[in-house]
Amino acid sequence: MKTMDAKLAFAMPGTMMDVDLTIGMIFEHILRNNAEREVVSRNDDGSIFRYTYGDFGKRVAQLAHALVELGVKPGDRVASFAWNNHRHLELYYAVPMIGAVLHTTNIRLFPEQVAWVFEHAGDTLAFVDTSVAPAVAKAMATRPDFSIPFVTMGARSTELPDAYDYETLLAGKPTTFDWPQIDERSAAILCYTSATTGDPKGVAFTHRSTVLHAFAAGTVDALGIGQADTVMPVVPMFHVNAWGTPYLAPMIGAKLVMPGPKLDPASIIELVDAERVTMSLGVPTVWLAVRDELEKRDGYLPSLKNLVIGGSACPPSLFDDLKRRGIQTIHAWGMTEMSPIGTTSRLTSSLSDATPDEQRRKLLTQGRFTALVAWKLLDEAGNEVPHDGKTPGDLWVRGAAVTASYYRVGSDLPCFADGYFHTGDVCTVDEFGYMQIVDRSKDLVKSGGEWISSVDLENMLMGHPAIREAAVIGLPHEKWVERPVAVIALRDGQAVEESAVQAWLAERIAKWMVPDRVIFVEAIPRTGVGKFLKRDLRKQYESLLLPATTP
């Protein structure tokens, strides 16, 4: 039998309807099937706003009329600079459904970076929550030759006095809209990476990739959100679409709770308890603080059954502490370039009889790939490594929700090759398909020719009862080329000596892996999405281990 070519010159035509996969398709499904379900949104002033998905749909139509009146055309980029709230959710639908592109801007970027991404994206209009208007005004002051019109959401802003008012724009507009037919391969959302190295890079998600990602992320062995759930995304909507929940939760029909700007532990606990949240999503930083607050109160959150943690690795100590309070952590991994979810950690049937310790080890990995992601692990020579859970390799991915290029940068970069994207993660994959990140390739410490995983050291350090968070970096060393250094922040009311931390580690790992120094800080610098800014730490302490030079 002859092998069939990948693409046949002639093939039997299919019989399926040719229907574009668009955000509008999700929107129509929401209104027809989930109109009575509730959206709860916390405003800037702490008050609670409630409406149904049916009411939401009417306001989305009104917003679409306002956008057209403001001159927004298909293909135009429209920025949002906002918290997780109901108005931001309305933008997520109205902007792409009229054929424009929503640029969800990271509100925690430096002022110069905010103005830079506005200009680089070519934004024609920006919607801004009033509480973060001062940050936008400060950003625009860094580029006096650049300007765009603004719409403020909430109270009037003195910092942006010429801005349109969101509610005034919607008032009196029709509650239906003649939505245009959109090509599924046209851009819908524009997100920028968190700028851990260099300028942020833009990734434009298509309608098709956004819909496919929602379906893949919603499967039982991925996020597994159900219609009876109440979902609260604490992960910001500017962080890769809050990991897809603004589309996934309404599509499923889950109640959606938007926490707004109040993200302190007490406010999160109060909202989870008041709204009976069953699932929440966020980076470890937020949940470390919530864990500490619960322990201080000896408190519980009876409704909260599942917590999706991503953005950076979940410390095993956090996983265990939450489980003791009845909360199951679902470890997830992905990237902006992947829309973003690539893996989730759920137990397979083959592990149903495994010991609790073995099950815990699997759940602490980054998990198994969704069906939307093809992947390979390569060694330095470009050969595939064994999937034995031990042999590390560079992770490359491809798929319908993986970017093929950066916006206004191009695809001729070394991270794009042979139809794959190089994630920059060094990983292992075991015989059950569980992926474990060993480290970011740029964060591995090579000491005397041996590799040391900063992730492993960080996880171990955060198991120390006095340590709240830890970042490990490699610094230049005269003899060993590089040596690890730990930068740690202690829990409130705790004190510990550097030598005691090193001795504690020496009881648990090989002595040559113990960091040469332990530096105590109030807080570890992070990107706007909660990742450690190791680049800044390396620069700050670059000469720490080198011999002192005499003038």
| Sheet of 481-490, strands arranged across | 467-477, 481-490, 517-520
Active site residues: 193, 337, 446, 451
How many alpha carbons lie under 13 Å from residue 341 in its C-beta half-sphere?
36
Positive or negative: CA dihedral 507, 510, 513, 517: positive
Q: Are strands 150-153 and 164-165 parallel, antiparallel or unpaired?
A: parallel
Quote the radius of gyration of the chain (alpha carbons, Å): 24
- Provide the 3-class DSSP secondary structure of residue 288: helix
Closest CA relative to residue 365, chosen from 436, 424, 433, 455: 436
- Provide the 3-class DSSP secondary structure of residue 432: coil
- Provide the 3-class DSSP secondary structure of residue 64: helix
Distance CA 523, CA 510 (A): 28
**What is the torsion angle, in degrees rounded to the nearest 10, for the CA atoms of residue 168, residue 150, residue 203 and residue 86?**
-30
Closest CA relative to residue 201, chosen from 360, 409, 5: 409
Positive or negative: CA dihedral 40, 43, 49, 55: negative
Q: Encode 6-38 in three state secondary structure.
A: CCCCCCCCCCCCCCCCCHHHHHHHHHHHCCCCE
Helix (H) / strand (E) containing 505: helix 498-506
Classify residue 350 by its DSSP letter: G
Q: In 10 A of CB 497, how many CB atoms?
A: 10
Could you tell me where the DSSP H helices lie in 332-405? 356-363
Beta-carbon contacts of 416 under 8 Å, excluding residues fewer than 6 positions away, are 404, 405, 422
Closest CA relative to residue 200, chosen from 374, 336, 388, 294: 336
> Torsions phi, psi of 111, nearest 5?
-50, -45
